[in-house]
Structure 1
Amino acid sequence: MNKDKRYQILTRLRDNNPKPETELNFSSPFELLVAVTLSAQATDVSVNKATDKLFPVANTPQAIYDLGIDGLKQYIKTIGLYNNKAVNVINACKMLIDLHAGEVPENREALEALPGVGRKTANVVLNTAFGWPTIAVDTHIFRLANRTKFAPGKNVDQVELNMLKVVPSEFKVDVHHWFILHGRYTCLARKPRCGSCIIEDLCEFKDKVYPED
C-alpha cells in the first residue's frame, strides 16, 4: 500500500471519529491499568461489568491490595482467567505502593515490570492515560493491518514497528483506537462488512465480502 492510500485511510477514519476513546470504563491511570490487565482474552463489555462494581469499592492500589486475592476474585470471577489476573493485579498493586508511591508510572520499563503487564498493556496505558503516540497492537489491529495491507507483519511486534514507521505523527495518538473500533465493528474476523466500510475502496484485501442481493 502506498503512502497516499494510507493517508486517505487515516483521514477518513479521523473524519468519521475525530476523538476516539477506549471502550473500557476508567477515570484514572490506575483504573485503566487494571481494566486493560483484566481485558486480556476477555471482552471490554465483560471487563466493564466487573469494574463497574469493583471501582466504586476499590480504585487505588492500596484499596485493591487490601481486598486481597480472594476478595478481588469476587469482583472479577466473571472474567476469563480471573484467578491468574487476581494474583497479577494484587502483586502489581504491591509494587505500585512500594516502588511508585501508589501512582502509575509514566515509564515503559517501569510499567512492563509490573506483573501481568506486557508491551501491549504498557502501550495502551502510555497512549490512553498519558497521550503518548504509542500503538498497542491487539488481534483487531493485527488483522486490519495485514488484511488491508496497511502495515503487514508476521507478528504483533512487526506490525507495531511497521505502523510506527508508516503512520504520520498527526495520526499516531489515535490510530490504534480507530483500528480497534474498525476491526471490532466493521472489518470482522470471519465476515468483514466490506459493503458498509468507509475505506473499502482504499483497502487492498482481495477477498472482499458484500451482502447478497
Structure 2
Amino acid sequence: MNAAKRYEIFRRLHEDNPEPKTELAYSSPFELLIAVILSAQATDVGVNKATAKLFPVANTPEAIYALGVEGLSAYIKTIGLFNSKAKNVIETCRLLVEQHGGQVPQTREALEALPGVGRKTANVVLNTAFRQLTMAVDTHIFRVSNRTGIAPGKTVLEVEKKLLKFVPKEFLLDSHHWLILHGRYVCQARKPRCGSCLIEDLCEYKHKTSDD
C-alpha cells in the first residue's frame, strides 16, 4: 500500500469521526489504567458496568488498595479472570503509592513494571491519558492492519512498529482509536461489513463481502 492511499484512509476516518474516544469509561489516568487492566479478555461494556460501581467507592490507588483483594473482587466478579486481575490491581495500587506518589507514571518502562500491565496496556494509557504518540495493537488493530494492507505484519510488535512508521504524522495521535472502532464495528473478524465501509475502495483485502 502506498503513502497516498494510507493518507486518504486516515483522512476519511478523521472526517467521519474527528475526535475518537476510547469506549472505556474513566475520569482520570488512574481510572483509565485500572479499566484497561480489567479489560483484558473482557468487553469494554462489561468493564464499564463493574467500574460504574467501583469508582464511586474507590478511584484512587490508596482507596482501592484499602479494599484488599477480596473487597475489590466483589466489585469486579462479573469480569473474566477477576481473581488474578484483583491481585494485579491491588499490587499495582501498592506500587503506585509506594514508588510513584499515588500518580500514574508517564513512561512505558515504569508502566510495564506494574503487575497486569503489558506493552499494549501501557501504550493505551500513554496515548489516551497522556496523549503520547504510541500505538496499542489489540486483536482489532492487528486484523485491520493486515486485512486492509495498511501495516501488514506477523506479530503484534511488527504491526505496531509499521503503524508508527506508516500512519501520516498528522493522524497518528488518534489512529489507535479509529482502527479499533473500525475493527469493532465495520471490519469485523467473521464477516467484514465491506458494503458499509468508508474505505472499501482503498482497502486491499481480496475477499470483500457485500452487506446482506
- TM-score, structure 1 normalization: 0.99
One-letter amino acid matched to 1:108: R
Counterpart in 1 of 2:210? Answer: 210
- In structure 1, how many angstroms separate the alpha carbons of the residues matched to 2:107 and 2:57? 27
Query: How far does the alpha carbon of each residue in 1:22-67 deviate from its partner, in whole angstroms, 9 at most, with x for none?
Result: 0000000000000000000000000000000000000000000000
How far apart are 1:168 and its partner, in Å? Answer: 1.7
How far apart are 1:211 and its partner, in Å? Answer: 2.7
Q: Following superposition, which runs of at least 4 residues in structure 1 exceed 6 angstroms of deviation? A: none
The DSSP-based 3-state class of the residue aligned with 1:80 is: coil
Counterpart in 1 of 2:139? Answer: 139
Counterpart in 1 of 2:16? Answer: 16
Query: How far does the alpha carbon of each residue in 1:102-151 deviate from its partner, in whole angstroms, 9 at most, with x for none?
Result: 00011111100000000000000000000001110000000000000110
One-letter amino acid matched to 2:26: F
- In structure 1, how many angstroms separate the alpha carbons of the residues matched to 2:64 and 2:207? 48
Q: 1:52-201 counterparts in 2 under 5 A? A: 52-201=52-201
- In structure 1, how many angstroms separate the alpha carbons of the residues matched to 2:9 and 2:86? 39
- In structure 2, how many angstroms separate the alpha carbons of the residues matched to 1:161 and 1:192? 25
- In structure 2, how many angstroms separate the alpha carbons of the residues matched to 1:211 and 1:161? 33
Query: How far does the alpha carbon of each residue in 1:153-175 deviate from its partner, in whole angstroms, 9 at most, with x for none?
Result: 00110000000110121111100
Counterpart in 2 of 1:3? Answer: 3
- In structure 1, how many angstroms separate the alpha carbons of the residues matched to 2:108 and 2:151? 23
How far apart are 1:6 and its partner, in Å? Answer: 0.3
The DSSP-based 3-state class of the residue aligned with 1:158 is: helix
- In structure 1, how many angstroms separate the alpha carbons of the residues matched to 2:94 and 2:169? 36
Aligned residues: 212
One-letter amino acid matched to 1:31: E
- In structure 2, how many angstroms separate the alpha carbons of the residues matched to 1:131 and 1:176? 11
- In structure 2, how many angstroms separate the alpha carbons of the residues matched to 1:211 and 1:107? 43
Contact 2:6 2:168 in 1 (8 A): no
- TM-score, structure 2 normalization: 0.99
- In structure 2, how many angstroms separate the alpha carbons of the residues matched to 1:191 and 1:135? 25
- In structure 2, how many angstroms separate the alpha carbons of the residues matched to 1:46 and 1:170? 33
- In structure 1, how many angstroms separate the alpha carbons of the residues matched to 2:94 and 2:106? 17
One-letter amino acid matched to 2:29: P
Which consecutive unaligned segments of at least 5 residues does structure 2 have? none
Please, what is the CA RMSD of the aligned residues?
Answer: 0.5
Query: How far does the alpha carbon of each residue in 1:182-210 deviate from its partner, in whole angstroms, 9 at most, with x for none?
Result: 00000000010000000000000000010
Aligned sequence identity (%): 69
